[in-house]
Structure 1
Amino acid sequence: MSVPIVFLLDVLPADTVVDDADLAATITPAGDGSGVLSVFDLGPARGDGIFETIGVVGRHPQSVEAHLDRLTESAAILDLPAPNHAQWRLAIARAVAELPDVDQSAVRLVVTRGSGGRPTAWVSATPADGFPERENGIEVVLLDRGLPSDVQQRSPWLLAGAKTLSYAVNMAALREAHRRGADDVLFVSSDGFVLEGPTSTVVVRIDGTFVTPPPSSGILPGTTQLALWAHLEEQGLAHEYRMLTPEDVLDAEAAWLLSSVRLAAPVHAVDGRALAVDAGLTTQINDALLSRTD
């Protein structure tokens, strides 16, 4: 059995600046993983923590700064210490250096509230499987999230917009999709707007314009969606944020679910109703996303 790739971080304050040797000393390999996490840690005990998953192509972790920015935003929402970006960048680089020579991998960043008032943090890395969904597409079902689209403004304690460790609801939604014979989910707000998937951002093309719901609708800002927006900007293609209804998705010229490792998966059906799929455009999008080296 191979030793897992895990590095523990002795968390530094966000504004701390140290020399390279001292920075490296704050990051230690976890070895075989024995005794790493206390049973009293509030991460596993209560889901009280945050995480990010970064796609790695070859030896290139993608959209690192966007992920660190989102980790910082999640930390602020949960009243966790702001991450030291230099420390996390070094930990990511060390984890990536340990990966086998494979096409794609994933790096996960985790911060919990820890125990005794001190956060626990680590970086792990693992090779990623192939993703036939990029070509074969996915079928999704619409599920009611049970919350209004203005939940972020109305009820900030519900932590909308943060990437928390509390993923039981998201996993339950995916199981429900599988029970219905589908692959994935699109959450719909109680006031009738399409939001996001349990682990993805929705993007549709309407009249030639790429559209995604605004982060203000209580969704997680998508790092892969931001990378797609940058590509569309370079290509001179129209893109915007606006509220979407289920009818908008059903009538769209094309629709995708975007995530950091799977990238763009075209949606070919919603609740059993077929959607148009633009295979050529999907290939172009994934080629652009795979080509990132930042």
Structure 2
Amino acid sequence: MTAVPELRFVSVLVRDGDGWGVRRHDPAAPLLTAFDYAATRGDGAFEAMHVFDGAANKPGRHLERMARSLHNLQIVGPPYAAWRALVDDLVAQWPAGVEGVLKLIISRGQEGGPSDQDPTVYGTLAPIDRLLIEQRRTGIDVVTLTIGYDADVREQSPWLLGSTKYLSYAVNMAAKREAARRGADDVLFTSADGQALEGPSATILWQVGNELRTTSSHTGILRGTTQEEIFAKAGAHGLAPIVTAATVEDVAAADGVWMTSSTRGVAAVRTLDGRPVRQAPQTTALLQRLSGLPLP
């Protein structure tokens, strides 16, 4: 598989009478206005899914999560069929043998306009960062960083937009930069009361005996589509899926630990805060197969 950096595709959903239509857009041409809420407020939602050999990975799960995000944001978006048409149009332009990341983006619209009823909606498709593909093979080093409040705060405070994949990723990107500054590849966020939560763009999984565990969405974490896909299949392979609370020490003591995401797939955690993590290569291989992404 060879990444082709110049590959870039953009398609837009536009109002077409009472429905929505797909229009292809020059990726080198401007798309947003200076007053779009995506640029001025980060007020909107997005999804990112893997594309390979003519197919998007689990688009249904991504569109279900998009619907939950839009409900939480109180944005009226296109219907499911229009989103699927946008996904299909982008995938149809993608060459075989190249791993791509397809992003669906929606903002509230224009500041000063009828924003809730006239959102900006588009999709992009580009090659996946080669580093993410390499991490699928080699594993990753992870550090813990606090989010600064207790695990139940976001569920009790809906305005904090827990479980919502919103556009504003400034904090997530800052956490990634801090991880790099510390010589690590990724972050495991922790709550002020000591619970392990999620990564900036990944879900944590860990194995205890024949149990495959992850953290609960009741903490306000984003429900991981790759984690859900794996959990739906794990039982048939002798792993009991468990959703539970855990501390960092619980995770560090596990028989294996992984970070899962839609673009990187499944990456085994090698170290957590500099401490070696027990490896489970057979489980790693199984989880990577269950994720539906190309094997490393």
Is the pair's TM-score, using the shorter chain for normalization, greater than 0.5? Answer: yes
Contact 2:57–2:293 (CA<8 Å) still a contact in 1?
A: no
- The 3 A distance-change label for structure 1 pair 93 and 223 is same
- What does residue 49 of structure 2 align with? 54
Q: Tell me the CA shift for residue 102 of structure 1.
A: 2.5
- Asked whether 1:262 is paired with 2:257, we answer no
- What does residue 182 of structure 1 align with? 184
Q: Tell me the CA shift for residue 52 of structure 1.
A: 0.1
2:32 to 33, 37, 41: 37
- The 3 A distance-change label for structure 1 pair 178 and 154 is same
- The 3 A distance-change label for structure 1 pair 217 and 29 is same
Equivalent AA in structure 2 for residue 127 of structure 1: P
Contact 1:8–1:29 (CA<8 Å) still a contact in 2?
A: yes
- What does residue 12 of structure 2 align with? 8
Aligned mates of 2:140, 2:163 — CA distance in 1: 25
Aligned mates of 2:236, 2:9 — CA distance in 1: 36
Q: Tell me the CA shift for residue 236 of structure 1.
A: 4.0
Aligned mates of 1:137, 1:60 — CA distance in 2: 25
Gaps of 5+ in 2: none
- The 3 A distance-change label for structure 1 pair 3 and 54 is closer
1:154 to 150, 153, 156: 156
Contact 1:137–1:266 (CA<8 Å) still a contact in 2?
A: yes
2:81 to 77, 86, 102: 86
Aligned mates of 2:231, 2:137 — CA distance in 1: 21
Contact 1:11–1:119 (CA<8 Å) still a contact in 2?
A: no
Q: Number of aligned pairs?
A: 283
Q: Which stretch of structure 1 is more off in the superposition, 78-87 or 181-190?
A: 78-87
Q: Provide TM-score, normalisation by structure 2.
A: 0.91
Equivalent AA in structure 2 for residue 128 of structure 1: I
- Asked whether 1:95 is paired with 2:90, we answer yes
Instruction: Give % identity.
Output: 36
Aligned mates of 1:251, 1:12 — CA distance in 2: 55
- SS of structure 2 residue aligned to 1:220: coil
Aligned mates of 1:139, 1:35 — CA distance in 2: 38
- The 3 A distance-change label for structure 1 pair 213 and 6 is same
Q: Which stretch of structure 1 is more off in the superposition, 86-95 or 278-287?
A: 278-287
Aligned mates of 1:170, 1:291 — CA distance in 2: 24
- The 3 A distance-change label for structure 1 pair 12 and 251 is farther
- What does residue 140 of structure 2 align with? 138
Where in structure 1 do 4 or more consecutive aligned residues deviate above 6 Å?
none
- SS of structure 1 residue aligned to 2:121: strand
Gaps of 5+ in 1: none
1:202 to 201, 204, 207: 204
Aligned mates of 1:267, 1:12 — CA distance in 2: 47
Equivalent AA in structure 2 for residue 249 of structure 1: V
Q: Tell me the CA shift for residue 261 of structure 1.
A: 1.1
Q: Tell me the CA shift for residue 120 of structure 1.
A: 0.2
Q: Tell me the CA shift for residue 66 of structure 1.
A: 0.6
1:55-74 deviation line (CA, Å, top 9, x unaligned):
11211101111100000000
- SS of structure 1 residue aligned to 2:242: strand
Query: What root-mean-square deviation, in Å, do the aligned CA atoms of Structure 1 and Structure 2 show?
Result: 1.9
Q: Provide TM-score, normalisation by structure 1.
A: 0.91
Contact 1:3–1:31 (CA<8 Å) still a contact in 2?
A: no
Aligned mates of 1:254, 1:11 — CA distance in 2: 48
Contact 1:12–1:87 (CA<8 Å) still a contact in 2?
A: no
Aligned mates of 1:153, 1:121 — CA distance in 2: 28
Contact 2:12–2:23 (CA<8 Å) still a contact in 1?
A: yes
1:228-275 deviation line (CA, Å, top 9, x unaligned):
001203324211100010111110000000000111000010111000
